Structure 1
């Protein structure tokens, strides 16, 4: 019985030795085939890397973000291909030395290259890991929005502006207030103010979304602009939506903006030329943005014109009068100031005219008539008689 056990063990050892020996012999005998298979796997990996690299370049050209891991995969492939090419070069040089490696009498050389050529696992594993990247290497990245491109105006010395800014931020910080309205005449700086606010409070919110409404608004455009924000509100994220330049009451339900007691994680900041619009949209806080007093208008004017105000004597002599005529409206100050700085008078007149005409067109017909009649009066003259006449014709 003992002899049988010994014999069985001996048979297994011999079989194992035979398998090992056969494998080692195969490395030498089929060295050429192993090397060819190795080269084939290297080429497959190179081809895959080339296809994926093309997709990466296209994604970068579009400005899209690459998916996590694809760049690490490319780096790993480059490193593995470098090692593989070093081996192929080394094997090729050995072949030259042996007048054709299949005729080489150095069995040790054949064994070494044949065995190393069978180590294709790193190559095939990288091919397997690269398969998902052949269909997708990037995620769509939204184009920069208005807030992404806005640069801080640094108007810390404009007290009227900063007072309004502080009041609005206090209202935003008040958890009992969901809708905050800002109103003021056209050109007073409401839009600029909301952008400054967005920069100031952006760290308080998961996202800040800005959309311009305008007089002739498009419901579908507003829905598109606020789509991601609306989804995130439903998911519980704290979101600030800025509705700029609202001319009439908007139905938030129609715009599919989640708000009310069930969605206090949503804050809405709206700007309008009309206080009544803010009130009609149930703003819990309504803040007026006033035009700048003369001294602050002059400070802003100097900001816009810059050093030229100090070096151009002709400009210096009329600058204060020009700043006064801007009526304390930052938009007009900005446009006029840049004109005096760049000498493009025609473009300035057109810009200011278009802004003023929009306000004029929105007036009732009687108010338009009264406005035009006012232009007939000399500067600073009492217009009370005209106002009395207007009241009579409106009865």
Structure 2
């Protein structure tokens, strides 16, 4: 369409065309106004002439409107370049002010242990990028663009720049509109399963391994909602359940695994607090915790481990829905008494057995070291292991090693 002509010449023609169109439009509207009033008076005496003139003006108006809109838009990129650059500068400064405020809010939130939300992080990156792009456009605008060795302004280059400025102005406005957030940071989410510290012995213990595997299988059996693990004190129930807890790390078997230490002095409020902490719930003073826990548990596929339970209590009273086949939730509890398992309504009861004589001796040797192998100590050590009936007759001293219990 523009073969044989320089782009600058084409832009100059467009500018002249805009002036012509502007003048012609003004003239046309004046004539149309006069013509309408004159022909209206003659419409009664000569309606055919009036109609023929109006029929002629209709297509002219359509042609003018058809060509005027696109031509005016293209010319506007060049004509309004200075104003658009100034507007872009102001909009970018407002965007920067918003960025500074959000960064200050994020900094404060991080100082109290929160983490920046992903949406805000992405927005800040976009703002940084667009600020650099606007700086580049403004630098380009301030540089003179000429042709013919500086004899005239290079209108084509300014036209292209004007078009990019208008596009970037829309991008800045859109980014400003997106910079409204309900929250800029949030408390870090607890892991699905909180790994617990446990000191499993290095020696092989088939009895303990069999018990742990039985517990694991029961927790994956849909027929068992509540599993009771019982046995005498210090036999290793808590150690086994910590190992079970840690086996769920990295799995998707449950939405959350919750560990609650009950202890001898039953305190339902403390149980609620521990569950709430595991679920990132904050309770207010005198708040009805039970209903909130019920609502939170409603859609959560959970495993609740109640460790060191001495007497039965009502799950409903705490706010814990009873696990059943359809909700795929589980409760496991450790206790010294099988009666507690019965009163809690355990679907499966697993007894933690004592170690065999060989397993007890190997564990005793691992904990105490070669000292028990000496000829004057070994007979006593073997007697101690036998008297303990498979329990570990040693504990870690406050020093560096293990000592026998007297």
Please report the TM-score for the alignment, with normalisation by the length of structure 1. Answer: 0.66
Question: Partners in 2 of 1:325 and 1:58 — Cα distance?
Answer: 59
Question: Partners in 1 of 2:224 and 2:69 — Cα distance?
Answer: 81
Which residue does 2:188 correspond to in 1? Answer: 141
Question: Partners in 2 of 1:322 and 1:188 — Cα distance?
Answer: 19
Paired residues for 1:205-284 under 5 Å: 205-227=254-276, 228=279, 230-231=294-295, 233-235=297-299, 237-259=300-322, 265-284=328-347
Which residue does 2:228 correspond to in 1? Answer: 181
> Do the aligned partners of residues 114 and 280 (structure 1) sit closer, same or farther apart at CA in structure 2, a change above 3 Å counting?
closer
Question: Partners in 1 of 2:132 and 2:382 — Cα distance?
Answer: 69
Question: Partners in 2 of 1:28 and 1:72 — Cα distance?
Answer: 34
Which residue does 1:73 correspond to in 2? Answer: 123
User: Which protein is richer in helix relative to its size?
Assistant: 1
* Displacement of 1:180: 2.0
For the residue of structure 2 that corresponds to 1:258, the secondary structure is: coil
Paired residues for 1:153-172 under 5 Å: 153=200, 157-172=204-219
**1:82 maps to 2:136:** no
> Would the aligned equivalents of 1:35 and 1:113 in 2 still touch at CA under 8 Å?
no
For the residue of structure 1 that corresponds to 2:319, the secondary structure is: coil
Which residue does 1:335 correspond to in 2? Answer: 396
The count of corresponding residues between Structure 1 and Structure 2 is 329
Which residue does 2:349 correspond to in 1? Answer: 286
Residue ranges of structure 2 left out of the alignment (5+ in a row)? 1-50, 147-151, 280-292
Root-mean-square deviation over aligned CA pairs: 4.1
**1:43 maps to 2:71:** no
* Displacement of 1:107: 5.2
Deviations 1:56-111 (A, max 9, x none): 4555555556545333333333322221121122223449x9xxxxxx96655655
Higher CA-based Rg: 2
> Would the aligned equivalents of 1:56 and 1:138 in 2 still touch at CA under 8 Å?
yes
Residue ranges of structure 1 left out of the alignment (5+ in a row)? 98-103, 353-374, 376-395
Paired residues for 1:368-379 under 5 Å: none
> Do the aligned partners of residues 21 and 195 (structure 1) sit closer, same or farther apart at CA in structure 2, a change above 3 Å counting?
same
Question: Partners in 2 of 1:242 and 1:127 — Cα distance?
Answer: 48
Question: Partners in 2 of 1:10 and 1:335 — Cα distance?
Answer: 102
Question: Partners in 2 of 1:5 and 1:257 — Cα distance?
Answer: 82
Deviations 1:286-331 (A, max 9, x none): 32223334432344456557xxx4xxx768749966697474545x
> Would the aligned equivalents of 1:181 and 1:283 in 2 still touch at CA under 8 Å?
yes
> Would the aligned equivalents of 2:106 and 2:185 in 1 still touch at CA under 8 Å?
yes
* Displacement of 1:253: 2.6
> Do the aligned partners of residues 244 and 82 (structure 1) sit closer, same or farther apart at CA in structure 2, a change above 3 Å counting?
same
